[in-house]
Amino acid sequence: MTNPKSLNLNLRSLIPRGKFICLIAVALLFSCSHSNEKEISASGTIESTEVTVSAKVSGEIEKLLVDEGTSVKKGDTLLLIDHTDLDIQLKQAEANAAATEAQFKLILRGARSEDLIQAEANYTNAREDLARMEELFKSNTITQKQLDDARTRFINAQQTYEKLKRGSRSEEIDAARARRDQAVAQVEAIRKKISDSYVLSPIDGIVTQKSIEEGEIVMQHAALYRIAKLDKVHLMIYVPEAELAKITLGQETKVFIDAYPDRPFPGKVTFISPVAEFTLKNIQTKEDRTKLVFGVKIEVGNPELILKPGMPADAVIHQ
């Protein structure tokens, strides 16, 4: 299949200058799309799928690992954000989680026998001490404050002993479990932030834009890189309503670019717009501007990365 542009160059040498200029003027009226019985031809611009990589955490850019033009794979580390403060927070959170876990296990298990024995002994001693202090108070040997202190010690010892003998209530166990779970969640949240300090590529592609430098402070959600997926690109063309019935999803196409006029790049139709649009404004006549066209998306394999975003291209759809 010969590129239509190559054919135009050959015709220039065969047609007188004046007539050739007239033919060009006529051709411009149909530059959006033209067809014959077996194929539909139209022009467009090569586009690619691009993603913006943003910061998930705030901090100072510690190290950049890729630059514009670098080829990356999904999961490759693009840059590192300093996480020294997060490391300190993690140690504190882990210590707190360990303490709440131990407390939860203690409450869940209940009092140990030796704890209960000691609490009973403290209760007995406090009771006997209170009785003795009451006798001394009657004889005016001690003050009212000394008696009150003895009574307070007795009450505290009694409550501790009865609590250990009764065991932990369900409310206390639930509260201890909640404190434990909250501490564990805090540890996981900090670990996630540390992991997010290593910014990874979400796709295979080429870095097309870098928006930061080492040493800069970035805020959460700040744009860092743009990465283009170039192994497959696409071309959006527009065809008149009259030609739409000749195009189906999956239909084979050939795409030509100026740099390789005689080399067809195979593609296929992946999308047909269900909504009509007006023709582009560069159509010269008012009559043609009122015609409706439909967008057709063509996907083109690009394993050699020859096709670049922004390149003008011509597509030929075979019927």
Predicted pLDDT of residue 31: 40
pLDDT one-digit tens code per residue, 182-193: 999 999 999 999
Does the pLDDT value for residue 15 go beyond 60?
A: no
Looking at domain 53-82+197-226, does it have CATH number 3.40.50.800? no
Residues contacting residue 255 through CB under 8 Å, at least 6 positions apart: 235, 264, 265, 266, 267, 298, 300, 307, 313, 314, 315, 316
HEC-encoded secondary structure of the chain: CCCHHHHHHHHHCCCCHHHHHHHHHHHHCCCCEEECCCEEEEEEEEEEEEEEEECCCCEEEEEECCCCCCEECCCCEEEEECCHHHHHHHHHHHHHHHHHHHHHHHHHHCCCHHHHHHHHHHHHHHHHHHHHHHHHHHCCCCCHHHHHHHHHHHHHHHHHHHHHHHCCCHHHHHHHHHHHHHHHHHHHHHHHHHHHCEEECCCCEEEEEECCCCCCEECCCCEEEEEEEEEEEEEEEEEEHHHHCCCCCCCEEEEEECCEEEEEEEEEEEEECCCCEECCCCCCCHHHHCCEEEEEEEEEECCCCCCCCCCEEEEEEEC
Looking at domain 4-49+230-318, does it have CATH number 2.60.40.3120? no
For residue 165, name the pLDDT band (cuts at 50, 70, 90). Answer: confident
Please tell me which residue, 180 or 25, carries the higher pLDDT value. Answer: 180
Does the pLDDT value for residue 64 go beyond 80?
A: yes
Domain boundaries, the chain: 4-49+230-318, 53-82+197-226, 86-194
Does the pLDDT value for residue 67 go beyond 50?
A: yes
State what percent of residues in the chain have pLDDT above 90: 60
What is the arithmetic mean of pLDDT over 112-120? Answer: 75
What is the arithmetic mean of pLDDT over 139-149? Answer: 91
Range picked from 86-100, 271-285, 287-301 for highest mean pLDDT:
86-100
Is pTM beyond 0.75? Reply is: no
What is the arithmetic mean of pLDDT over 155-172? Answer: 79
What is the arithmetic mean of pLDDT over 6-12? Answer: 40
The CA-based dihedral angle spanning residues 216, 221, 196, 90, taken in that order and rounded to the nearest 10 degrees: 80
State what percent of residues in the chain have pLDDT above 70: 82
Predicted pLDDT of residue 295: 93
